Amino acid sequence: MHKKILIISHSGDLHADLVTAILAQRGHAPFRINLDAFPRDYQLSQTVQHGQAGARVRLLPDGDWLDLRQVGAVWLRKPAEYAYASADLTAQERAYAKLETRQAIFSVLYALDCYWLSHPLALRGAQWKGEQLARAARMGFRVPASVITNVADDVRALRAAVDGPIIFKAMSTPSLAAEAVEGAERVSRGIGTTIVDDAMLDSLDAVSELSCQFQEYIAKQYELRITVIGKRLFAARLYSQDDARTAVDSRDMSAPIRYEACTLPDDIRQRCLDFVHSYGLEYGALDLIVTPDGEYVFLENNPVGQFLYVQQLVPALPLLESVADTLIEGALCHSRT
C-alpha cells in the first residue's frame, strides 16, 4: 500500500491548493492540516505505550482517522497562527495554548520516519541570512561585502571599503513586521532594499537600537530566481533593470518586468543544488545577481519561498508539478521500507 502525503500549511495557501489538485489527478489524495484551523477543527492523538509509539489525526466533524505511521512524505509549507474553539481566551490562556499546541503537533511530526519537503530542523538552520552569506562564500559564490551590526562606525567602514553605494536590506521581512500588528500600532508598511543616501549616512547612530544588514550595492545586468525542488532545479531570469521600480529591489510586483526561463552554467547550477542540500533542505528559492561582466553573485536563499508567481510568469517552468512529483516519489520510497 502506498503511504500517504501530508501537507501542513494554512487555509489561504493557493500553492497547497494547486499541488493538492495535481496530487489528486495523479491518484494521491493528501491529508492537509491547516494550522489556522488547528486544533479547533482537528483531533490529534499521540500514544507511547509498551515501548510502541503511534499517532493519529482527523478533520472534524466526521473525517476519517489518519494513522500517521502511514505518512510517507510531508510538505511543511507555511506556518500560521493556531485557532481554538474558545473565542474568549485571556492573553495568558492563549499564550499557554500556543505553547502546548506546538508541543503537541511537533512531538508528532518530529517522530515521523518519512520524506520531508523540508524537515523543520533543516528549515530552522537555514533561515539565518548572515550564516547564508558566510556559507555561500565558503562554497565558492561571490557574495556582496556585508555587515550586520549595531555599530555605526562599522557601517561607515563598509561604505569606505567598497568605495561606492551601499544598501540597507531587512534580514527577516521587508514589511518590518507590519502583518504582526493592527490598526494604530502599524506605523509602517515596510521598506524594501534601499540605497543608503547622505541623509541616512548622517543618521547612522540610529542603528545602535537594532542590528541591521548593510551591503555593497552591486550593479546588475539581470537577476535570477532559482528554485530547487528535491534534485530538480529551475531558473528564471528577471529583467529588473528594465523598470526603475525594480532596479534596486525586484520584489515590487507592480512593475511588469520580463521573466523568462534560462539555463545556468553547470558549475553555478551544481553550486546552487549543493548549497540547498548542505542544510538538509529539499526546497530552496535562491536569489542571485548577474553583473554586467557576467559574474554570478549570491544574495540569499528562502527555504520556504514563494514559487507560484514564478510559474505564472514563466509557464514553461513546471514548479507545481515538480513539487507534486517529488512528494509522490518520496512517499513511494518510504512505502518500500
Q: Which of 185, 216, 247 is the last residue of a domain?
A: 216
Q: Are residues 23 and 72 in the same domain?
A: yes
Domain range for 273 is 219-303
The CATH code of the domain that includes 208 is 3.30.1490
* pLDDT at site 336: 60
3-state secondary structure of 64: coil
Whether residue 279 sits in one domain with residue 249:
yes
Question: In angstroms, what CA-CA distances link 273 with 104, 127, 283, 307?
Answer: 33, 17, 10, 17
Coil, helix or strand at residue 288: strand
Q: Tally the C-alpha atoms within 13 A of residue 176's C-alpha that lie toward its C-beta.
A: 14
Q: Are residues 286 and 225 in the same domain?
A: yes
Residue 11 and residue 107 in one domain: yes
Note whether 293 and 202 are same-domain residues.
no
- The alpha carbons of the chain give a radius of gyration, in whole angstroms, of 22
C-alpha distance from residue 307 to each of 65, 177, 287, 323 (Å): 32, 21, 12, 10
First to last CA, the chain: 11
Taking 70 as the pLDDT cut, the residues of the chain under it are 1, 335-337
Last residue of a domain, one of 216, 239, 264: 216
Strand ranges across the sheet with 4-9: 31-34, 4-9, 71-76, 115-117
As for how many domains the chain has, the answer is 3
Q: Is 198 in the same domain as 238? A: no
Q: Judge if 165 and 192 occupy the same domain.
A: yes
CATH code of the domain containing 38: 3.40.50
Q: Provide the pLDDT for residue 21.
A: 97
Task: Kindly state whether residues 207 and 286 are assigned to the same domain.
Answer: no
Q: Hunting for cell 505511521 — which residue is that?
A: 69
Distance CA 98, CA 102 (A): 6
Distances from the Cα of 321 to the Cα of 50, 59, 316, angstroms:
42, 26, 11
User: What does the pLDDT read at residue 248?
Assistant: 87
Residue 238 belongs to a domain: yes
The whole-number pLDDT of residue 243 equals 84
CATH number assigned to the domain comprising residue 239: 3.30.470.20
